[in-house]
Amino acid sequence: MMSSVSPPAPSLPSGGGSFFRGYTKLCKGLAVILLLVHLLVQLFPSAVNYLALIPARTIPFAWNLITAGYVEQTIPGVIISIIGLLLFGKLLEPLWGTKELSKFVFIVNFSTSMCVFVTAIAVYYVTQQESYLYTPLSGFYGVLSGLLVGIKQLMPEMELNLFVLKIKGKWIPSLIALISVVVSFFMKDLVSYLPVILFGIYMSWIYLRYFQKRLETGLKGDPSEEFSFSSFFPAILRPVLDPIATIFHRLLCGRSDRADRGQTLETSSLPGSDSTEANRRRERGQRALEQRLAEKLAAVKSTESTSLDASDKV
């Protein structure tokens, strides 16, 4: 989506019944899992010890690296997770497909848990505070943050209504990260969510940037400048961040870059093909969004006409 005119900002449907329409089976199934697991830990609090990520017990209970992401221990947490999953999944699944979205959720959830586990162990060895080993860590916020990164990639110019503010999709992950860091300084109970959110953003970017397979070209990742690591930060910081990001990029992905470069030469001789492919992704995102908004408008008009006909008969 590279046009100068941004598409209309999406909003929640006005009709109560239409709010539950259009969500995919995958998102509904994950929402049911979140709800059932929440009810389970409410009815049996000891289940948290077996499902949540407790770093000191992760070695024998390795499944915690997967199950922890689906454990919401609070009512506000499970409500936010379910609503966010349904809304963000509704935007991304038509573009990615069910298989890719389920793969994305699994990879981001597992990699986020792994990073949180390693960080907790490292912080314990530095501080020698056992609370880092035995505090249950859980929540779906890592995946939600990752879905926002997907929206940044595919719909960067789409405006989302956040209370009284209209924020473009490309800034939502950065805004969430900033708010999480600031809030953690004032509300100590929320500190445990901070690494989940930050690692969710970072690991989802790693996957989308370097590993997600592009169906159009058969290559992996999104090398466009609009999706670089520095794009998450204000422009004033990018001259400092770009050289650092380039060093890590060459260290971690040098071989894959050479392989992709060779494959690109075989499949395409057009310069700037990566940028062109990235633009195609954004155009598909815009078309999907416009189609969804048109369907919503048609449904509203149909409801209004039905109400008018009924009133005329009365």
Give the residue extent of every domain in the chain.
25-253
Which pLDDT value is given to residue 77? Answer: 92
Residue 232, classed as helix, strand or coil, is helix
Task: State the angle between helix axes of 141-154 and 172-186 in degrees (0 to 180), rounded to the nearest 10.
Answer: 150
Res 279: pLDDT = 62
The CATH code belonging to domain 25-253 is 1.20.1540.10
pTM of the model: 0.75
Residues ≥6 apart with Cβ < 8 Å to 202: 115
**314 residues of the chain, pLDDT tens digit each:** 333 333 444 444 444 444 456 788 899 999 999 999 999 999 999 999 999 999 999 888 899 999 999 999 999 999 999 999 999 999 899 888 899 999 999 999 999 999 999 999 999 999 989 988 999 999 999 999 999 999 999 888 887 776 567 788 888 898 899 988 998 888 877 788 889 999 999 999 999 988 888 766 667 888 888 888 888 887 787 777 778 777 767 766 654 455 454 444 344 433 444 555 556 666 665 666 666 656 655 654 565 555 545 555 55
Task: Give residue 151's identity as a one-letter amino acid code.
Answer: I
Cβ atoms of residues 38 and 47 within 8 Å? no
The pLDDT score that the predictor gives to residue 12 is 40
Q: How far is CA 22 from CA 158, 210, 214, 268, in A?
A: 19, 31, 25, 37
Closest CA to 277 of 289, 296, 287, 264: 264
DSSP state of 157: T
Residue 48's alpha-carbon distances to 52, 71, 122, 217, 256, in angstroms, are 5, 8, 23, 44, 40
Rounded CA gap, 126 and 144, in Å? 30
- Between CA 157 and CA 282 the distance in angstroms is 9
Closest CA to 90 of 33, 142, 150, 136: 150
Q: What is the pLDDT of residue 186?
A: 85
SS3 192: coil
HEC assignment per residue over 245-312: HHHHHHHHHHHHHHHHHHHHHHHCCCCCHHHHHHHHHHHHHHHHHHHHHHHHHHHHHHHHHHHHHHHH
Q: Given this model, what pLDDT does residue 244 score? A: 77
State phi, psi for 6 to the nearest 5 degrees. Answer: -80, 145
Residue 118: strand, helix, or coil: helix
Integer Cα distance of 176 and 219 in angstroms = 30
pLDDT at 86: 93
CB crowding 184-212: b at 16 or more within 10 Å, else e: beeeeeeebbbbbbbbbbbbbbbbbbbeb
- Asked whether 212 and 220 are in contact (CB, 8 A), the reply is yes
One-letter-per-residue 3-state SS of 159-188: EEEECCEEEEHHHHHHHHHHHHHHHHHHCH
What pLDDT was estimated at residue 221?
Answer: 83
